[in-house]
Amino acid sequence: MHYARNPEVVIRREHFGGIAFNKANGTLIELDREACIFFEQLDGETSLQNIGKQIQDELNVNVSIPRLYDVAESLIGNGFICKGVKSYHIIAEDFPEQKDYLSAPESVHLAVTHRCNYHCTSCYVDDSVTEEMTTTEIKNLIDEMADMKVFQLAIGGGEPFLRDDLVDIVRYARLKGIVPNITTNGSLLTSEIAEQLSGHIGQIQISVNGHNRSLHESFRQTESFDNALIVMKILREQKIKFGINVLLSKDNLREIEQIISFAAKQGASTINFLRPKPSKSESNWYERARLSENDYKTVQESLKNVLGNYHIKITIDCALSFLMNSESPDDLQKHGVYGCSGARRFLSIHPDGNTYPCSFIDSYYGGNIKNGLKGVWEGFNEFRELQVTGKCGVCNISKFCAGCKAILLYETNDILSQKQGCFIKKST
Ligand SMILES: C[S@@+](CC[C@H](N)C(=O)[O-])C[C@H]1O[C@@H](n2cnc3c(N)ncnc32)[C@H](O)[C@@H]1O
Ligand code: SF4
Ligand code: SF4
């Protein structure tokens, strides 16, 4: 029996090997060079012996066929490989030169508008940006993303459903082989729109900060809890995969298990916890909401206690990587924990096309996207060169965390500061 790559899996070569992305379920794995060639050759026809020979020819290393067989069997379980199905053959390119960032973003975070129908006191969005890219300009960006083999388009805002071309954008991205995902407050997403998105959208992320009205609405619009319940029902009915974004704060940090249980009962497939970042809407919101080192220990304990108890995937944002400090580097890699990923794995685009390393930083500018994604991605050198030194520099997980520069800039106005806001005791 020959093995084949799942036809939904796309591979992009990187200097370390490559990235395999499964468009069907949004999962991503990193491959070393041998595994990358192995994956590329899995077309359902080429035998493992011949693949072994290809690897030997290109990398000049001996590979054991039983080892290739074990790798193939282990990847069947997570949907990357099937038995006996013909898939497409990839024309291999050279491995790119070594850099400390990917050859192209893994995902592009695009705020399609900064307009919003809500007024959350937590909101970090700069509503003075009123210019918006046209549908054609966004489609041009999607074309470039496809050329550069970007895997995902993360659409956010503002409230993205205020744009009447959103379905068109989503469908175009899917047509170009890119998985489109949307983050929304859910209030404008009707059954009719959901029906038009069905089959094209990857996942919809609904923002829900608590399992009951008072918790959720403590810094969100009145009626937003009911709206979230309605939209989750619509998404269940349309069988659209959805997840929940929970913005952590002093209010909800002791309710983590109840919130996870609520999300699982609602049918969410993932729950993503976000670290609070400074608000542009109400200047002292962050001072009230931000978590202390002890609060983060509570969050870490709660997450550990519930792990495996609910049928839902639990994730954390890149600014919370330090919560994983008890994991080994191998496990961190396996769980896809990469720490600060701004301008390394993704970039953020404002509605007017201006680019930044991530949605929470506007002091490092990468140029306007209308001048080309490739050039913008190769920029950002000043931001990338920032190495968090001091206590962070000697922390054993600094490679998988690297501190949140958005928070450092706000807290100390010094990105190289030692004040990281995490609870790990370092031996300086
Ligand atoms: C700015 S909103 C845009 C999408 C949509 N309007 C919504 O609320 O879901 C994107 C995400 O940022 C989160 N968010 C809002 N304020 C934040 C803050 N100060 N720090 C971190 N995340 C925040 C929201 O909860 C939401 O999940
Ligand atoms: S967090 Fe989302 S819903 Fe709330 S004001 Fe900001 S953009 Fe609007
Ligand atoms: S600065 Fe880095 S860690 Fe912080 S939110 Fe942005 S990408 Fe994530």
Burial environment of residue 186 by CB neighbours within 10 A (0 to 12, 13 to 18, 19 or more): buried
Conformational region of residue 234, where left means phi above 0, alpha means psi within -120 to 50, and beta covers everything else: alpha
Question: Ligand 3 pocket check: which of 358, 400, 409 to mutate, most ligand atoms within 8 Å of Cβ?
Answer: 358
Ligand 3 atom nearest to CA at 341: 7
Rounded distance from Cα 50 to ligand 3 centre (Å): 43
Cross-strand pairs, 83: 3
Ligand 2 atom nearest to CA at 183: 2
Ligand nearest to the CA of 317: 3
Residue 391: pLDDT band (50, 70, 90) is low
Rounded distance from Cα 105 to ligand 1 centre (Å): 21
119 lines ligand 2 (CB under 6 A): yes
Catalogue the long-range contacts made by 49-58 (C-beta closer than 8 Å, 24 or more residues apart).
58/92
Rounded distance from Cα 410 to ligand 2 centre (Å): 20
159 lines ligand 2 (CB under 6 A): yes
Ligand 2 atom nearest to CA at 119: 5
342 lines ligand 3 (CB under 6 A): yes
- 38-85 pLDDT, tens per residue? 988 888 888 888 999 999 999 999 888 888 888 788 778 778 888 766
- 196-232 pLDDT, tens per residue? 999 999 999 999 999 999 999 988 888 999 999 999 9
Kindly report the number of other CB atoms within 10 A of residue 166's CB atom. Answer: 25
Question: Sign (positive/negative) of CA torsion 337, 315, 11, 64?
Answer: positive
Rounded distance from Cα 132 to ligand 2 centre (Å): 17
- 160-179 pLDDT, tens per residue? 999 999 999 999 999 999 99
Ligand nearest to the CA of 361: 3
- What is the average pLDDT across 262-286? 95
Residue from 77, 74, 17, 7 nearest 43 by CA: 7
Ligand 2 atom nearest to CA at 124: 6
For the whole prediction, is pTM greater than 0.85? yes
- Tell me how far apart the alpha carbons of residues 129 and 185 are, in angstroms, rounded to a whole number: 20
346 lines ligand 3 (CB under 6 A): no
Residue from 314, 395, 310, 347 nearest 105 by CA: 347
Ligand 3 atom nearest to CA at 407: 4
